[in-house]
């Protein structure tokens, strides 16, 4: 996988074996690790003021997007993304 950028769209299979199309809405590096914020592509592109579900994934050493397993790491990523959002 090449470097992930805001606007990239990809598909993932969820826990219910359903294919979901996701769009990258943000990227962030923390302590040499790369993370991405993604949302459902149809929600990202919708002209609405409704809240959008955002998920955070990690780019692993094979440059694959994976779930963040550790609660502490996940909470740090959420806080870092919120901090960058507050700065904009």
Contact 64/72 with Cβ under 8 angstroms? no
Tens digit of each residue's pLDDT (9 = 90 or more) over 22-51? 999 999 999 889 999 999 998 887 776 677
- pLDDT of 86 strictly over 70: no
Residue range of the domain that includes 49: 9-87
Residue 57 included in any domain: yes
pTM for this structure? 0.81
According to the model, what pLDDT value does residue 1 have?
54
39 near 55, Cβ under 8 Å? yes
Specify if 73 maps to a domain: yes
Look at the chain and report how many structural domains it folds into: 1
Is 72 inside a domain boundary?
A: yes
């Amino acid at each position: 996988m090449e470097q992930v950028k805001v606007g990239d769209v990809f598909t993932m299979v969820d826990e219910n074996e359903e294919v979901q199309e996701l769009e990258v809405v943000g990227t962030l590096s923390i302590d040499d690790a790369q993370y991405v914020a993604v949302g459902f592509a149809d929600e990202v592109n919708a002209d609405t003021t409704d809240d959008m579900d955002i998920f955070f994934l990690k780019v692993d050493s094979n440059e694959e997007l994976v779930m963040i397993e550790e609660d502490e790491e996940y909470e740090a990523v959420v806080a870092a993304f919120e901090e960058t959002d507050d700065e904009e």
